[in-house]
Structure 1
C-alpha cells in the first residue's frame, strides 16, 4: 500500500475529524441559499394551494379562475428565475471557513498551517508541535454551524407568513379533494372523461357551535340538521348529468330537478335531499328545530327608598339569548283621570329599557334583574303595561305575558314635597296644565312660613312659580317644560330628605305618636306599625347625624378630639334595637307605665346622641348593623316559634304548655345572661306571668284578639322588618352577598307562609314554616358574614382598628365569635336543632362530667368550673 506524504496525511486526519460537522454546515448553507433565493416561489405555491383547498375556484366565475391562474403562473415563473439567479452552491472551502469561525482560535486553519520559521530550532519545533496538538484537540469539539434562515430584510412586509397562514387555514377547514375541481374547468377538463362528480357541505348556524359536515363522507341515509343550516352543492361534469331534488328549503323544485351546477339553500323543515345521477345519494333530513326564547317576570318588584326598582326576570333559549327589552306603555284606562289628568296626555313614546344579560356563563337559562330608576319619568307611579321581550341569535323573539302595574318610582311623604311632585307630574302630563299648576303652587306659597322649614325653599318655589306663569302665557317649549320639571324635582328632594333637624323632628313625631297610642290603649297591630315607624325614623336620624358629623370632621379635624371620653356614654345600634324591642314587649304585655318610662329614656338619649366612627368606639359599619339586625330577627323568630310550639302542646296536652313555658323561661334567662342583659329570674317570671295574664286562660290575646291572630300579627311585623333589612343589605354584587340576599328572600317567603298558617289556625304547619325561616336566616347570616370578611380583607390596611384589635374577630372561651360589637356572647345561631332544651341539658351534663374528671389539667378544670358557675 502506497504511503501518503506527511502533509497529505495530516490534512486527511484533520478533515476526517471534522467530516460530519463540515458536511452538516455545508448542507445548512445550501438551505440558506435555497430559502433566501426561493422564498417567493414557495410562498406563491402555498397561497395557490391554500386557495384551491378552500374551494375559492368554485365560488367565482371560470374567467376569474383562469385570470388568477395566469397571474400566479407568471409570478411563479418570475420567482423561479429570480431564485435560480440568486442561488449559489456553497463550496467546501466556504463551509470550512464557516465552521472554523464558530470555534475559538480558528483551530482548523491553525491545524492546516505549517511552521514558517525556526524549523531547525528544536525548541521552536517543540512549541509548534504543542500548538498543533492543542488545536487538533479543539477539533474534536467541533459542531455544525447553524444556518441563518432569516429573510426579514428581503421580505419586510412578512408576505411569507401570509402564505403560511393561508395554507394552515386550508389544512384546518379545507380539503385536498377540492383541488381537483379546478381541472374540470374548461372544455377539456378530465371530469368529462371520468364522468360527473359532486361535492356537498352542510354548515350549521354559527351560534349553534356545531361543526360543518362534508356530505361526501356521509354514507348513512339519515342526517340530523339544525334549523337554519346552509347546504352547498357543487356538480362537476356534463350539465344535466346530476340533478338535485329536495323539499327541505321550501323553494319550488321543477319536475326534472334542479340542474344548476352550484346550489345553496337553507334547511327550514324536515324532508329528503336527493342527488340523482352517477354516484348520487339520498338523505332523510331530520330538522332540529330552533325553539323561540321565553321570558317571564320572576319574583316581586322591589323599590328602594330612592326609587330604584329591581324587576327580576327569567329567560330561556336552546342556544342562548342575545338581547332583550322591557317595554312600559301607559294604560290610560286605569289612570285616575281627575285633577291635572282630566285632559288627554301628551303623546310619548313607549318606554323601552334594555334587559341586562349575564356577562359570563350560559345564556340558555338564567335569571337576571332589571335595575332602573323611573322616578323622573312622567309615568312614575302610574299604571303601565309591562311586556318583556328577548331575542335569540336566529332573530326569533319571545314575549312575556303583558301585565299592568304601577311604574315603580320614588314616593314622597312630606306634604309640601308631595304637592310639588304632583304638580310636576301634571305639568309633564300635559303642558296645558301649567296655568293650573301655577295657581295651586301659588296657594301653597301663600302661607310659606308655616309650611317651609327654610326660607330658601319658599324662595325657590316662588322662582319656579314665576317662570311657570310666564311660560304658561306664551306656551311652554320642550326645553322649558323639562327645565321646570327638573327644578321641581330637585326642590322636592330637598323638602323630603331635609337635614338633621328634619330627621330629628320626624323622630320626635314618631315618638309622640307612639306615646299617644300608649295612652289611648292601641291594639297590638297599631303598636307594631308605630314601632316600625319609630325604627325607620331612628335609622334616618342616625344616618343624618353620622353624615353631618363626618362632614364636620372633614372640615375641622380637631373636632374628633373634642369631648370628654369619661362623660360620654357609648351605645351601639344593637343597644338601641334592644331598647325599642323592650318597649314593644312592655306595650304588648300591657305594662304601659314602664313602656312610657323607657320611651322617655330613649328620647333623651337620641337627642343627646353623638355618633362615633370606628369599630372600637361603639360605632358600627353598615355591615355590622345588618348582622346585628338579622341576628335580632332570628332571635325574635325563635321566640315566636317557641310560643307557637307551646300553644300547640296546650291544644293536645293541656298543662304541658305551662311546663314547657317554665323551661322556656329558664332558657331565656340563660340566654339573657349570655348577652349581658343582667335581668333577674324574678323579673323574667313576672314578665311571663304578665303575658300569660294578658292572654288569659281562654287563649285570647289583647282586645279580644285570638291567640293565633296575635301571633300572626307579630309574624307579619317580623316579616316587614326582615323585608326592610333585606333591602339595605350590604355586600350586594358579590357572590356571598347575592347568596345572603337569596337566603333572606326565602326566609321572608317562609315567614309569609307561617303568617297565613297562623291565621288559618294551622299551628303545626306554621311551626314548620317558621323552622324554614330560621334555617334560611342562619344561612343568610353565614353568607353575609363571609361577604363582610372578604370586604374587610380587601380594605385591610385602609381602615383604622381600635386598640385591642377587631372585636368581631375575638373569640370567647368556647371559640365562638365575640359578636360584631365586641360584647360578651355571640350573634351566631348556636341552637341548630329543634329540641333546644334537650340539647342544653346535654351540654350541661357534659360540662359536669368533664369537671369531675380529676385526670384533666388544672387549667381546664378551672375553666370548666367558670363555665358551670356562669351557666
Structure 2
C-alpha cells in the first residue's frame, strides 16, 4: 500500500486518529531499537558520576573510562542515526490494516478491475466497499513492540538502569561537579592549600557523621571509638595535623601526611596548623556498662514452666543476654538420694529474649522456660543474669536464690517415680537404691496401679536397671534413656486418660490459631470450631472423672487459688463468642479470646456438682422454663399491640395491663448479650413491631428484635441440652428445633405488623417448648431410674417414713415434698386440654371490662404457665 492510495472522505476521517497513533508507535519502536545503546551508555556514566566514582578512582582510570564513554556514545549515536527511519504513511496504513479482519483499508482503497460498466457488478462492488468501510470503525492502533531481548541478549540496558537507580537512591547530582577536578587547570583551584575532615561515630550508636568543615564550635562531644579522617590538598607540608585523642605512640604517620585516619580513645585536642587551620577540643563520651536486674521474683507458671521477669538498659542498646542457673548445694536438703555428692553438671544457660519491636536501651521482658525434666527441678538454685552491648561490655545482675520451678506431681505413685528419677540423675551411685525403692513401690500392683500396662512398664524399667547394675554398665546414655522412661511413666500415671484428651485439645487449638493467622473460609472455621468443641467436651469429661478420685480432690485443695474455676456453660459461651468473632472477620479479637481460652484450659478446675448444686438436666429445664415465660410475655405484648391496632382510641394504660412476664425484665438471654433489652416492653407506647428502633429511649427494643434474641438464646440452650444420643434427648432437641422455626416465623410476622399471625406462631413455639421440656423431663427421669435401680422403694420409704399422706390423700414425695408424680390425665388428651385452658385464660385476660382483681389473677396464671 502506497502513500498515494486514495480513500473516501468518510474512511479517511475514521482512520485519522488510529493512523496517527500507529505512526507514533512505529516511531517509538524504531527509536528504541536504534538508540538503546546510546541511552544505556549515558545513564550508566551519569550513575557512576552521581555515586562519586571520579572521587575514589585514580585519575588515570577516570580519564580512560571517560574517553571510552565518549567514543562509545559517539558510535551509538552514529549507528542509531543510520538505522533509524521515520515510518511512512503507507507503512502505518499497512500495519493498521493487518490488525483488521479482511484487511478493509486495502479493500476501500482498491478500484474495480473487472466488470466496470456493468451495473450489477458495480452494485456488488459498492456493497463490498461499504461493508469494508463499516469495519473501519473498529480500527485501533496496534500496541508498539518495544522488546529488545533479541538485540540485547545480555540485558546490558538493565545493568545501566540498575546503576542509575542506585545512584538516584544513594548518590547526588552535586557529585557530578567534582568531575571538573579531573580536567586540566583544575589543579590550580585545588592547590589551595585546603583540607576537609569527618568524624564517624560507631555504627551501633546510630549517630550521624560530623563534617568538620561545617563545625563552627571549638569543642564538642563524640562517642568513644569514633573514627576521624583528615585529608590535605595542595602543596605538601603547608598543612600539618597534631592530636591527643587517639593515644597513639607507635606507627604514628607524619604530621604532613595528606590522608590521616585514627580513632578517638579519650578526650583531647585536634589541631590543623596552616592556612585555614582549625582547633577542636574533643570530649570522648565513654560507653556506659549495660545493666540488668530481676523485675520480680521467679515464679512457677502454667504447666510448671519457669517465669523470670527482668529489666535491662544501656545507653545505646543491649544486644544479647543470658540467664545462668547454678545449683545452690548448701541449701539442698541432703537426705535420701541427695545425701551423696552430686555428679558434676554444667550450669543451665538460657538466652534472654530481646525485644523485637521497640527501643533496647530500656526494656522489660519475661523468660519462660520449662526445666521440669532437669535434675535440679524443685531444688534450690542461684539464678543470675548477664547482658552485653555492642562494644562487648557485660553487665551482671544480683543473684536470686530460689527453688527452680518444675512440674508438680500430686499422684503419690507418680511423685515417687519422679523422685527416684531425680536421685538417679543426681548420682549414678544411687542406681541400686533407686531400683530397690521402685521394686518396693510396685510390690502390690492391684492397690496402686490403675492399669496393668503402667505396672509392666515400671517393672521392665526396674529389671533393666538391675541388669545394668549387675554388669556394671550404668553409662550416661543408659541413665538418660532411663530418665526419659521414668518421666513418661510418671506423667502417664499422673494424667491417666487425661493426657490424650489434653493433647487433642491442644492440637485443635493450634489448628484454629493457624487458621486465624492465615485466614480461613467460613466452612473451614465451622469445621475447626466443631473439632474444638468435641475435644473440649472430651477433655472436660476426663478431667471431671479424674477430679472425682480422692487423690485429685487433694490436688484441688493444694492448687486452690492457683486454678481458675469455670463451668460448662461459660466454656460454651466463650466458644460461641469465638466463632462469632471469626465469622465477622475480627481475627485479632478472636486470637486474643483463643489465647485466654487456652490459658484457662491449661489450668482449669471443672466446677463439680457439690451438695445442693443443680445437675445439667435441671439447669437446662430451668433455662427452658425461663425461655417459655419470656415467650409468653412477648405473646402478651403482641396481643396488646393487636388490640391497639384495631382500637387506636384505647388508653395506653388499658393495653399495658396485658403485659406478661416477658415485660418485667431481662431473661436468660441477657446473660449472654443476646437478650438485653427484652423486657420493659409494656412501657412502649404504640405498636411493638419492628418499627421501634433497637436503640431507642431507655434502651428499648422492638418486639421483633426481642423475639430474635429469644430465638438465639433457644439455639444456645438447644446446643447445650444434655441427653445427646438418647431417644428422649433427641426428641427434646427436635421439639426445640420446631420451637425455633416458629419463633422465626413470629419474628417475620412482627416485622410486618401481622400481630394475629405472630400470635399463632408464638403459640406454636410455646407448645413446642412445652413438648421439649416434657421430653427432657422423661429423659432425666429415665436416667435417674437407671441410677437408682431397685432402690426406689427404699427411697420412697425415706421420703415418707411414717406412711402419712397429705389432706388430699396424696403421698408425700422425697424430702418432704408435697405432690405426686402420677399423671391425673393419660394420653394425648392432657395436651389438648392444657391448650384449651391456656387459650381460655388468654381470651379472658383480653376482656378489659372484667374486674381488676380478676384480670390480675388471670395475669398471674399466664405468668406461671
> Given the two structures, how large is their TM-score scaled by the length of structure 2?
0.50
> Given the two structures, how large is their TM-score scaled by the length of structure 1?
0.50
